[in-house]
């Protein structure tokens, strides 16, 4: 009886319609915002017409992941390269003893994948998971190749991004083998502005290659 009254009540029907319209409006705004983030990112390197960007966008899939969700399992194949719109992810190598060695953090406007596995079709050497609820645009290798073939300026874009990533990795390796823990910490601050506040200290220590106790002793926490 109550449900019948509610269903026939014009006020209730009006409120339900308003809620639906509000949800649709928010969803449209969200998708528009995500598109603009990707376009701004690409146009830091190359300029695009509206038609070109629409074509580029058609090759990406919007994917949202929960906190702690694993998006790439170590020893599995790698289907996507992820561009992070919102959230935080990490790439790590897990040893046979279960120890985690963190290789990379990736936050907004960063890309993350196992590049070797992604490009060569081999199994991943890393586990990639979400440290926060994360929204991404995911790109397959087939879509990337198609984009670069049909829109050559995108090949330049990916070349610039890959080169920048390689240089950052090279600096990290040099930092690990030749710098003191305190210098590594400051390098982390430079490379990932605003990241420290989003990470537990155990992960910071793992990334720097020091113990949690060393981090505390140096006053870096």
Hey, what are 218's tokens? 């140096």
pTM summary value: 0.83
Residue 26, pLDDT > 70, answer no
Do 100 and 70 meet the contact criterion of CB atoms below 8 Å apart?
A: no
pLDDT digits (tens, 9 = 90+) for 182-198: 888 888 888 788 888 89
What pLDDT does residue 6 have?
47
What pLDDT does residue 107 have?
94
Residue 97, pLDDT > 60, answer yes
Contacts 24+ apart (CB under 8 A), 202-205: 203/90, 203/102, 203/131
Do 94 and 128 meet the contact criterion of CB atoms below 8 Å apart?
A: no
Neighbours of 192 (CB within 10 A): 18
Res. 75 pLDDT band, cuts 50 70 90: very high
pLDDT digits (tens, 9 = 90+) for 120-130: 999 999 999 99
DSSP class of 77: B
Do 152 and 105 meet the contact criterion of CB atoms below 8 Å apart?
A: no
Residue 179, pLDDT > 80, answer no
**Which of the given ranges, 13-17, 155-159, 203-207, has the highest pLDDT on average?**
155-159
């Amino acid at each position: 009886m109550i449900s019948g009254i509610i269903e026939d009540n014009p006020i209730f029907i009006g409120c339900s319609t308003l809620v639906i319209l509000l949800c649709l409006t928010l969803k449209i705004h969200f998708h528009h915002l995500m598109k603009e983030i990707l376009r701004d990112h690409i146009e830091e390197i190359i300029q695009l017409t509206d038609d070109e960007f629409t074509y580029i966008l058609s090759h990406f899939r919007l994917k949202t992941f929960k906190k702690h969700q694993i998006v790439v399992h170590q020893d599995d194949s790698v289907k996507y390269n992820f561009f992070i719109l919102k959230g935080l992810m990490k790439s790590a190598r897990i040893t046979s003893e279960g120890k985690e060695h963190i290789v990379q953090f990736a936050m907004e406007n960063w890309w993350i994948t196992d590049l070797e596995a992604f490009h060569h079709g081999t199994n991943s050497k890393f586990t990639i998971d979400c440290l926060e609820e994360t929204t991404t645009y995911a790109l397959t290798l087939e879509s990337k190749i198609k984009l670069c073939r049909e829109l050559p300026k995108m090949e330049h874009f990916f070349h610039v991004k890959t080169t920048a990533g390689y240089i950052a990795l090279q600096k990290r390796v040099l930092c690990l083998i030749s710098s003191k823990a305190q210098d590594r910490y400051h390098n982390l601050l430079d490379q990932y502005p605003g990241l420290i506040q989003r990470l537990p200290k155990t992960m910071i220590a793992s990334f720097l290659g020091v113990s949690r106790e060393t981090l505390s002793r140096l006053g870096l926490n």
